[in-house]
Structure 1
Amino acid sequence: MRNHLKALRRCTAAGAVALAALSLQPGTAQAADPGPGVVGGVRAAQGEFPWMVRLSMGCGGALYTRQIVLTAAHCVSGSGANTSITATAGVVDLQSSQAVKVKSTQVLQAPGYNGKGKDWALIKLARPLDLPTLKIAGTTAYNQGTFTVAGWGADREGGSQQRFLLKADVPYVDDGTCQGAYGDSLTPGEEICAGFMDTGGVDTCQGDSGGPMFRKDDGGAWIQVGIVSWGNGCARPGYPGVYTEVSTFAPDIASAAASLGG
């Protein structure tokens, strides 16, 4: 069985996981579990990652354009008109009075998504936000080295959603090593892995789904290389985090964003 998604962690004593179906339908509320951040992380500084977005169904995301959020396909259910999602942006502290809150208008889930691979989606907001955007990798050139992850999800397996944005660094794990951990559940070429194989201790966790994994490009700017997708538990030795490989889907994401007109 495929291991659980980051928004829907349900660990048994043996560490087995069942995939639960998200209940979002276009124009209705979503019943995703908000969790309950980043295991082994520290608090991000205000303004450090201004393109980070918290979504009301309990997922993260990043501003692909000023009006479109890139997140995970498993955070939504299908494509179409949708006004049920609230995006919170512009702050590290979710309870800050300066938080910008905007409703969704449309959702576009990756065509052909069936729960394995292709874990990306776009959410169009009701209005553009006056905030920076996060560019995405268009080639595999940046699919290596050390990445940064950030989110408001649980800071330990089975823990609670965090009020403050947490961040951490995780190293790249090659496909062969990652497939040794996850077998056929991994989809090489569509997914990229990162984490500390021997020690664990640092990872995204439940409630971080859809958030970006990013690093600096050759010019020193942040660039997104992954989307938080799934994993076995949180920060367990031998089980790195699995992320959507953004470069694989960059043309599709660009085309989908153009179709949303944002």
Structure 2
Amino acid sequence: MAMVVANGSNLVCGGSLINDRYVLTAAHCLALGFSQAETKVVLGEHDRCTADSRTVILSVEKFYPHPQFQKNTNHADAMLIRLNMRVTFNEFIRPICLPKMILQRSTASRFAGKTALTLGWGRADHGVTVCSLRVVALEIYETQSCPTKIPTLLCAGSHSAAGRDACQGDSGGPLQVRNDDRKFELIGIVSNGIECGNQDFPGFYTEVPRHLPWILKVTSQDSMYCWR
């Protein structure tokens, strides 16, 4: 889990460390107007309101928004952040595994009905961002049950319980499942939604497997990924 901050400690977005040099987040986070010089990435964080010697704060070398991103629809809402130095993995900081790319099936059809987890420091019930990292279990929806028609977005939410959702401040964070090797696999990026925590409206997540060719093209030159 990564936290993208600006001007010191202002929470901008979440993100996922995918190898020892890159973080994957949402492209619409750029719309908040922060420059590379103002932006930092925090790794190993849990309680962002308390100083912790285990955290690592890194500067940004470059933003790579997806070349097909459309901010009016959130089509291809993905962005890679190249860090200014390599990350040393340890007990608290390690990369999440990238998913396999299966062209014949969408992510929704592969995982529909399964439980996924999303994490973040975004707004909770009382409407303000939280100090401690939160996690919520969500169900991945079938394509026909997803109210968005943007092909690069998938839906996850709760048919039975209100309040289970990502919210403002969680953008860019992961939607993850456990793969057959019992490792966490990144299948989505928190993108947008309709309200927060309304059981009638699932959250929308950028579909990561669809964008794997672009992710690997940008990041695979000199990076160490999740061991598999």
TM bin, normalised by shorter chain, reads: 0.7 to 0.9
Deviation, 1:142, is 5.1
* 2:9 counterpart of 1:55: no
| Of 101, 122, 126, the match for 1:153 | 122
* 2:26 counterpart of 1:72: yes
| Of 88, 103, 108, the match for 1:130 | 88
Q: Which runs of structure 2 are paired with 1:42-191 in the superposition (5 Å)?
A: 52-57=1-6, 58-76=12-30, 82-94=36-48, 95-98=50-53, 99-115=55-71, 116=73, 117-131=75-89, 132-139=94-101, 140=107, 143-144=111-112, 145-156=114-125, 159-179=127-147, 182=148, 186-188=149-151, 190-191=152-153
* 2:187 counterpart of 1:225: yes
- SS of corresponding position for 1:76: helix
- The aligned length equals 200
Identity among equivalent positions (%) equals 28
- RMSD over aligned CA atoms reads 1.8
Cross-structure match for 1:9: none
Q: Which runs of 5+ in 2 are unaligned?
A: 7-11, 102-106, 224-228
- SS of corresponding position for 2:213: helix
| Of 189, 201, 217, the match for 1:255 | 217
Deviation, 1:118, is 0.2
Deviations 1:196-218 (A, max 9, x none): 13432200010000000001001
Cross-structure match for 2:226: none
Contact kept, 8 Å, 2:16 with 2:23, in 1: the verdict is yes
Higher strand share: 2
Contact kept, 8 Å, 1:105 with 1:125, in 2: the verdict is yes
One-letter amino acid of the counterpart of residue 151, structure 1: G
Q: State the 4+ residue runs in structure 1 displaced beyond 6 angstroms.
A: none
Q: Could you tell which deviates more after superposition, 68-77 or 90-99?
A: 90-99
One-letter amino acid of the counterpart of residue 27, structure 2: A
Contact kept, 8 Å, 1:83 with 1:106, in 2: the verdict is no
Cross-structure match for 2:175: 213
Structure 2 Cα separation of the partners of residues 152 and 255 of structure 1: 30
Q: TM-score, normalised by structure 1?
A: 0.72
Contact kept, 8 Å, 2:3 with 2:45, in 1: the verdict is no
Structure 1 Cα separation of the partners of residues 17 and 110 of structure 2: 19
Contact kept, 8 Å, 1:200 with 1:239, in 2: the verdict is no
